């Protein structure tokens, strides 16, 4: 195994990065790229490295003693279970000509906050959030755009199987329970961050296709099966109606989605709210 250390910005000639990754890929069975992410961003060169390597490890703000933690993960002492808090946009590039740069600029427009950049209509000292509620993964999904790495994504040395999703009836005050089963199909102990999303099937106002409402970290020994139970309430169903100054959950059908990331949904089930709910405050 060879361990190589680079700089913390992509400021070396492009050919040297490409040759470095290709040479190691030809000589070694595995080439893993370790990205120390101070700024969460996705550049053409970064995606090129991802495409050329067998695997990629990334961390952010882990400071001085992070080296031991990284080594524990890479050498299998610790089974990783972290998930992304942001979305990495998909960037196409071959670094060959100006057309490539134009493609990169167009892909930047996929970022939900892009409309806020350089808005000549905004007042000095004020920032406009033109994406509205469609920030992060919500923006990518409403535009039907495939990201490089989605919100909630993260790999493990274990493989997990989801099954048996059941949802209780929604009570009069909006409470309900979501239960499902998860199994560790690998031969090593692992932890999975299970994620529960809710989709309003017939929203009267523009709403995200799905919203994260709960997550749990579940640890399982090899071959172990566990039942996961999640308790949700009206906050998981409602939205803020600014014209009336109150929170509203309108009667109708909702979809409960359970998965390992915002894009990797394993289980779905419909639930029905039989009457409107309205409330003030948090």
Task: From 154, 214, 163, 164, select the one nearest 190 (Cα to Cα).
Answer: 154
Whether residue 3 is predicted with pLDDT greater than 70 in this model: the reply is no
Task: From 203, 226, 210, 189, select the one nearest 258 (Cα to Cα).
Answer: 210
Whether residue 192 is predicted with pLDDT greater than 90 in this model: the reply is yes
What was the pLDDT predicted at 98? 47
Lowest pLDDT segment from 46-55, 90-99, 180-189, 203-212: 90-99
Which tens digits make up the pLDDT trace of 29-70? Answer: 677 777 766 555 555 556 666 666 777 787 776 777 788 888
What was the pLDDT predicted at 118? 62
Angle at 75 between CA 70 and CA 77, to 5 degrees: 85
Compute the 3-state secondary structure of the chain and give helix, strand, coil in percent, each to the nearest 5. 20, 30, 50
Lowest pLDDT segment from 65-79, 144-158, 172-186, 211-225: 65-79
- Select the more confidently predicted residue: 55 or 98: 55
**Considering the chain, what percentage of its residues have pLDDT values greater than 70?**
72
Token couple for 3: 């361990």
Average pLDDT for 175-184: 98
Lowest pLDDT segment from 61-70, 111-120, 125-134: 111-120
Token couple for 202: 């017939």
Query: Chain-wide mean pLDDT for the chain?
Result: 82
Whether residue 94 is predicted with pLDDT greater than 60 in this model: the reply is no
Which tens digits make up the pLDDT trace of 133-162? Answer: 898 899 989 888 888 889 999 999 999 999
Token couple for 152: 């909630």
pLDDT tier, 95 (very low <50, low <70, confident <90, very high otherwise): very low
Instruction: Please check whether residue 142 is in contact with residue 209, taking contact to mean a CB–CB distance below 8 angstroms.
Output: yes
In angstroms, the Cα distances linking 107 to 88, 90, 165, 207 are 11, 7, 37, 24
Helix axes 14-27, 44-52, angle to 10 degrees: 10
What was the pLDDT predicted at 144? 86
Cα distance between residue 134 and residue 207, in whole Å? 8
- Select the more confidently predicted residue: 134 or 22: 134
Instruction: Please check whether residue 34 is in contact with residue 70, taking contact to mean a CB–CB distance below 8 angstroms.
Output: yes
- Select the more confidently predicted residue: 137 or 109: 137
Instruction: Please check whether residue 52 is in contact with residue 68, taking contact to mean a CB–CB distance below 8 angstroms.
Output: no
What was the pLDDT predicted at 235? 96
Taken in order of first residue, the domains within the chain and their CATH numbers are: 14-74 (no CATH), 160-279 (2.60.40.10)
């Amino acid at each position: 195994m060879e361990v190589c250390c680079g700089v913390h910005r992509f400021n070396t000639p492009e050919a040297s990065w490409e040759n470095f990754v290709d040479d190691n890929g030809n000589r070694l069975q595995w080439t893993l790229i370790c990205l120390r992410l101070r700024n969460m961003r996705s550049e053409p060169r970064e995606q090129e490295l991802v495409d050329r390597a067998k695997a990629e490890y990334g961390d952010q703000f882990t400071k001085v003693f992070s080296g031991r933690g990284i080594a524990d993960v890479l050498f299998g002492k610790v089974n990783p279970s972290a998930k992304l808090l942001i979305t990495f946009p998909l960037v196409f590039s071959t670094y060959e000509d100006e057309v490539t740069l134009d493609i990169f600029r167009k892909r930047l427009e996929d970022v939900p906050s892009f409309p806020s950049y350089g808005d000549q209509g905004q007042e000095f000292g004020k920032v406009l959030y033109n994406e509205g509620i469609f920030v992060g993964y919500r923006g990518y999904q409403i535009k039907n755009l495939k990201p490089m790495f989605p919100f909630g994504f993260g790999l493990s040395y274990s493989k997990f199987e989801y099954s048996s999703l059941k949802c209780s009836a929604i009570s009069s005050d909006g409470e309900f329970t979501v239960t499902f089963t998860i199994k560790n199909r690998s031969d090593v102990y692992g932890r999975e961050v299970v994620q529960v999303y809710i989709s309003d099937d017939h929203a009267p106002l523009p709403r995200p296709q799905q919203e994260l409402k709960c997550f749990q970290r579940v640890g399982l020994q090899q071959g172990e099966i566990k039942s996961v139970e999640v308790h949700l309430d009206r906050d998981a169903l409602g939205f803020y109606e600014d014209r009336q100054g109150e929170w509203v959950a309108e009667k109708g059908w909702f979809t409960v989605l359970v998965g390992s990331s915002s894009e990797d949904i394993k289980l779905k089930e419909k639930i029905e709210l039989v009457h409107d709910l309205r409330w003030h405050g948090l």
